[in-house]
Amino acid sequence: MQLEKKKQFLLNTLFVLTLVFLFLLVFQYLSGVLFPILAGFLIAYSLRPLVVNITKRWNSNYQITAFFVVTAFYAILGLLLWLGFGYLFSQVVSFFSSLPQIYQTSIAPLVGRINEWLESFAAFWGRFSPSFSMPQIDLSQTIQTLLGGLSSSFVKTVTDFLSSIPSIVFNGIFIVISSYFICMDFEGIVRFIKGQLSERAQKKVTSIKWHAFQKLWSLIRAYLLLMLITLVEVWIGLLVLRVDYAFVLALLIAFADLLPILGTSSVLVPWAIFELLAGKFALGIGLLILTVILWILRNFTEPKIVGKQLGIHPVISLISMFAGVKLLGFTGLFIGPLIAILVVTLNQSGHIHMYKNAAPTE
């Protein structure tokens, strides 16, 4: 009996490792080819419930309804991207062009104040230990170098983006066309894929879909909605505090909130401390109050949106992020936790048995 359990554990482990290896292999070498198809499939899959609902309610033709739903989706998406990216681009350009002024008005005075504190500390400590000497650190030069490197990185990023526009446009056109065809003939495509599998494999795939991928996709959508809510809340808060470039900063903070383990406080609290040290007490205290408000709203909205979370332990999340970055680069920061969540879900649903599920605490 014990030998059988060990064999089962080894088989499950080998199964998961094989899936992860194949996923990494496909992502590493075929992601550029498969991404437009997968993106089109995900868009069609997300819009299909709406198409089915409209078809049943209005007794309309499925393919015609799918065509108009996909068209409306891309029309709304295009309008939002045109308005959003236009405003965002102007804000980002203005922000980076004003970095020298920000340095002179905010950072330079704080650096001078820190240097005065260090000199006072050195003078005070030198009374008790004449041999004591503070290391010579030019904070002003260091920060100027950092800002110069940041500006250079921004210019390089913009240049790389402009050079990749033809590829982006081509992939975008392919995604749009594929989503139209997939959404209009979704059932036929699914039937064809199922026809290539045995009856047992079909049941296994269907079960895994409902127990794992369905929950995983619902979780992703829920957290994207939470990110949008956070973006709006932070944007309003920064506008109330009369912070320049509120939308750009709110977008960065919402992005940090989406990352596992990190959150809005990982940006707002250091920012508030910086403002307090710089003598801007009203803004510093306002940022701390905004942090508390966001924490309260997050704890109120997250259970209602996410429901019974399909979460993983923070330690596992941190390990999966680290492994993902090492194997896949920056995108692994998101893919690593998703793979971990998928493994946890498959184990909880009984499709694999890699470890014993912990008993619920009372």
**Domain end call among 293, 310, 327:** 310
pLDDT-derived band at 133, boundaries 50, 70, 90: low
Q: Report the pLDDT averaged over residues 236-250.
A: 88
pLDDT for 186 beyond 60: yes
pLDDT of 295 strictly over 80: yes
Question: Is position 317 within any domain?
Answer: no
Q: Are 257 and 230 in contact (CB under 8 A)?
A: yes
**Do residue 161 and residue 25 come from a single domain?**
yes
Asked whether residue 360 is domain-assigned, the answer is: no
* Mean pLDDT comparison of 122-126, 141-145, 190-194, highest-scoring range: 190-194
- What's the average model confidence in pLDDT over 159-166? 77
Question: Within this chain, do residues 185 and 237 fall inside the same structural domain, yes or no?
Answer: no
Same domain, yes or no: 119 and 21: yes
Mean pLDDT of the chain: 75
If asked whether residues 81 and 174 sit together in one domain, one would say yes
Residues 112 and 40 in one domain: yes
- In this model, does residue 231 exceed pLDDT 70? yes
State the helix-helix crossing angle for 2-58 and 332-349, rounded to 10 degrees.
100
Exposure letters 12-26 (e unless 16+ CB within 10 A, then b): beeebeeeeeeebee
Q: Is residue 269 part of a domain?
A: yes
Is residue 10 in a domain?
yes
- Greater confidence (56 vs 361) lies with 56
In this structure, the answer to whether residues 186 and 219 fall within a common structural domain is no
Residues 153 and 222 in one domain: no
For the stretch 63-85, pLDDT in tens is 999 999 999 999 999 898 888 77
In a domain, 316, yes or no: no
Higher pLDDT, 3 or 59: 59
115 pLDDT above the threshold of 50: yes
Q: What pLDDT does 362 receive? A: 46
Segment 298-321 mean pLDDT: 65
Q: Is the residue at 35 inside a domain?
A: yes
* Sign, CA torsion 344/349/353/358: positive
Are 181 and 208 contained in the same domain? no
Which range, of 23-37, 40-54, 169-183, averages the lowest pLDDT?
23-37
Domain that holds residue 70: 1-192
Is residue 180's pLDDT more than 80?
A: yes
More confident residue, 359 or 15: 15
pLDDT at 239: 92
Per-residue pLDDT band for 99 (boundaries 50, 70, 90) equals low
| pTM confidence score | 0.61
**Residue 137 main-chain phi, psi, to 5 deg:** -125, 120
234 in the same domain as 147: no
Same domain, 205 and 240: yes
pLDDT > 90 fraction of the chain, expressed in percent and rounded: 12
Asked if the model's pLDDT at residue 272 lies above 80, the reply is yes
Of 270, 287, 310, the residue that ends a domain is 310
HEC profile for the chain?
CHHHHHHHHHHHHHHHHHHHHHHHHHHHHHHHHHHHHHHHHHHHHHHHHHHHHHHHHHCCCHHHHHHHHHHHHHHHHHHHHHHHHHHHHHHHHHHHHCHHHHHHHHHHHHHHHHHHHHHHHHHHHHCCCCCCCCCCCCHHHHHHHHHHHHHHHHHHHHHHHHHCHHHHHHHHHHHHHHHHHHHHCHHHHHHHHHHCCCHHHHHHHHHHHHHHHHHHHHHHHHHHHHHHHHHHHHHHHHHHCCCCCHHHHHHHHHHHHHCCCCCCHHHHHHHHHHHHHCCCHHHHHHHHHHHHHHHHHHHHHHHHHHCCCCCCCHHHHHHHHHHHHHHHHHHHHHHHHHHHHHHHHHHHHCCCCCCCCCCCCC
Closest CA to 286 of 272, 298, 274: 272
Domain count across the chain: 2
Does a structural domain hold residue 348?
no
Residues 131 and 249 in one domain: no
Express each pLDDT in 319-358 by its tens digit.
777 777 777 776 676 677 777 777 777 776 666 666 666 5
Q: Average of pLDDT values for 211-222?
A: 67
Same domain, yes or no, for 122 and 261?
A: no
| pLDDT given at position 358 | 58
Average pLDDT over residues 90-94: 74
Domain boundary residue among 192, 217, 247? 192
Higher pLDDT, 45 or 91: 45
Residue 89 falls inside a structural domain: yes
